Structure 1
Amino acid sequence: GNVFVVSLAFADLVVALYPYPLVLSAILHNGWTLSDMHCKVSGFVMGLSVIGSIFNITGIAINRYCYICHSFAYDKLYSSRNTLLYVCLIWALTIIAIVPNFFVGSLQYDSRVYSCTFAQTVSSYYTISVVVVHFIVPITVVSFCYLRIWILVIQVRRRVKTEVKPRLKPSDFRNFLTMFVVFVLFAICWAPLNLIGLAVAIRPQVIAPKVPEWLFVVSYFMAYFNSCLNAIIYGLLNQNFRKEYKRIIMSLWTPRLFFQETSKGGTEGMKSKPSPALNNNDQMKTDTL
């Protein structure tokens, strides 16, 4: 399951490498000063990050659903080979979902947000399909998966299913809670922009002029602010991430200590089986739900 988390982290990180510096340049120059090619590529990479994020969040939800609710079939469904295939499928679908933008001509510079982004008014049918396929359908799938998990959690807490022993250790529950918060914040951050896009697509000539510029700008930056939230969520809810964050920050002051700990960790890793990245400390496993 951690492979999906790494894939999600890549989706969040990719916007910082190319689109965001160009947005900053446009803000400083009060307009787009680069070529149209840079504009198109910037919009493409931005879309790669956005759609990659929601598809990876969907993949994580399905993975957690299978792990907790169908634990007996999990190892077969999510072997190492199958998991890598699933991640490749996620990114293949992401690229396929973005390519039509080049044919529709919807990647344009928007002076309101200083970005080359998806233009909601280019094609009503395409905008509706984008909102449905890239937001409503994934949100529905993820909601179903987490609803089923929550039902099982409640049943386990109430000891309703005493004859069933689901794979739900305390550490598993904390990991599920972390990814659930990731999903909730994603939905909150992206819902306003998608709802505006859907309303504009249904009646573009009537709704588009009535959307306040400040509302669009706020919804836009709420959406793209989501890319930096996941790392914060991991740090707040997962002790292993907090420990590593602290080690990385300390290494900025004492680089030698960082390399010493890395070398020590590598030696210890050869002696024992490493624990999953999202698991909390071993002592937490003795807790009860």
Structure 2
Amino acid sequence: MSGVMILSKNLTLEDVERLPERSAWVTSVLATVLIFTIVVDLLGNSLVIVSVFRNKKLRKARRNVFVISLAIADLVVAIYPYPLTLIAIFRNGWVHGYIHCQMSGLLLGLSVIGSIFNITAIAINRYCYICHGLKYKKIFSHRKTSCYVLLVWMLTCLAVIPTHFVESLQYDPRIYSCTFAQSVSPFYTVTIAAIHFILPISIVSYCYLHIWIYVIRVRKRVKLENPSRINHHDFRNFLTMFVVFVLFAICWVPLNIIGLGVVVNPKLANMIPDWLFIASYFMAYFNSSLNAIVYGVLNHKFRQEYKQIMIEIINLSC
């Protein structure tokens, strides 16, 4: 099976390269995973946004500004790129043309980078709140927090724009998606991995590592089940966002390792099994549906608000 296929601006629908017919169960699995991801992404992240705006306590917590921003980043892919990929699965090829290919690739990049940058901002917020509580309100005032969110999206846009100019957004028939092709520029691939993934992951790891160390030290010092400054509610909020980060890393690390591996040794491109490459991509896609589930499982306020919203929707539909 060949590598990526570049869609030219003059490409007609009839010219689109198609894969040999795959087993029905393979396409069924890919379609099922993507449909589940789209539905849960749309429903879950919509619930997150509505919950924060409805619940005064959730709305008052400054960290939830970043939670809303993260939910928006996850919603972007469910609204446009993923449905186009789903159609490509059913049609066994890209039938949407060059413009949609470029747009879906850009929005996919915008969502991924926006997600990791928001997760980084959340980690910094939790680090300041727990480890530097006396300075927290000054560092994260309501006005400054809004500016931080704006900064996150400005940096996200700046990070995505170069992808278009190096012509790295290409259609890969293995995953039925228009996405970043690592083979276009090894230097650019390494730069992207460093700035968009390795650096943010390092910052987040630093923040959460110091939070864990702080929590352990305080608990040992006071010899209580819960530390004096960090109550159970605060710790659960921290744990929730930590799990969000861990799941993001788990879902995206395999794909980044494959990309960097191909850059280091181009021969790996032909050695990596298609099933592993496809699994790494769809695992990464699946991540956009997980955050809302994590909030519902680990955060009591979000869980209660979810239930209330669903009850109201059911009552209105009856």
Do they fold alike, i.e. is TM over 0.5? yes
- Tell me the residue number matched to 2:300: 239
8 Å contact 2:222–2:228 — kept in the other structure? Answer: no
Task: Call closer, same or farther: CA 1:149–1:166 in 2, change over 3 Å.
Answer: farther
Of 251, 275, 289 in structure 1, the residue corresponding to residue 312 of structure 2 is 251
Q: Deviations over 1:62-85 (max 9, x none)?
A: 000001101111111111111111
1:137 to 2:199 alignment: yes
Q: Distance in 1 between matches of 2:125 and 2:275?
A: 38
- Tell me the residue number matched to 1:82: 144
1:168 to 2:230 alignment: yes
Q: Where do 1:1-289 residues align within 5 Å?
A: 1-159=63-221, 167-204=229-266, 206-255=267-316
Q: CA deviation at 1:251?
A: 2.7
Q: CA deviation at 1:161?
A: 10
Percent of aligned pairs with the same residue? 63
Q: Distance in 1 between matches of 2:140 and 2:283?
A: 34
Q: Distance in 2 between matches of 1:109 and 1:200?
A: 18
Task: Call closer, same or farther: CA 1:166–1:41 in 2, change over 3 Å.
Answer: farther
Q: Distance in 1 between matches of 2:197 and 2:223?
A: 34
Q: Deviations over 1:144-195 (max 9, x none)?
A: 0000000111012112699xx9742221100000000000111111000000
Q: Distance in 2 between matches of 1:153 and 1:161?
A: 12
Q: Distance in 2 between matches of 1:241 and 1:192?
A: 30
CA RMSD of aligned residues (A): 1.7
The residue type paired with residue 59 of structure 1 is: A
Q: Deviations over 1:200-235 (max 9, x none)?
A: 11122x111111111000000111100000011111
Q: Distance in 2 between matches of 1:189 and 1:21?
A: 20
The residue type paired with residue 243 of structure 1 is: Q
Q: TM-score, normalised to structure 1's length?
A: 0.85
Q: Distance in 2 between matches of 1:161 and 1:198?
A: 46
Which residues of structure 2 form unaligned runs of 5+? 1-62
Q: Distance in 1 between matches of 2:228 and 2:169?
A: 47
The residue type paired with residue 230 of structure 2 is: L
8 Å contact 1:155–1:161 — kept in the other structure? Answer: no
- Larger deviation, residues 53-62 vs 17-26: 17-26
Give the length in aligned residue pairs: 254
Which residues of structure 1 form unaligned runs of 5+? 258-289
Equivalent residue of 2:221, what SS? coil
Q: Distance in 2 between matches of 1:173 and 1:250?
A: 29
Q: Distance in 2 between matches of 1:251 and 1:110?
A: 43
Q: Distance in 2 between matches of 1:181 and 1:111?
A: 33
Equivalent residue of 1:109, what SS? strand
- Larger deviation, residues 55-64 vs 128-137: 128-137
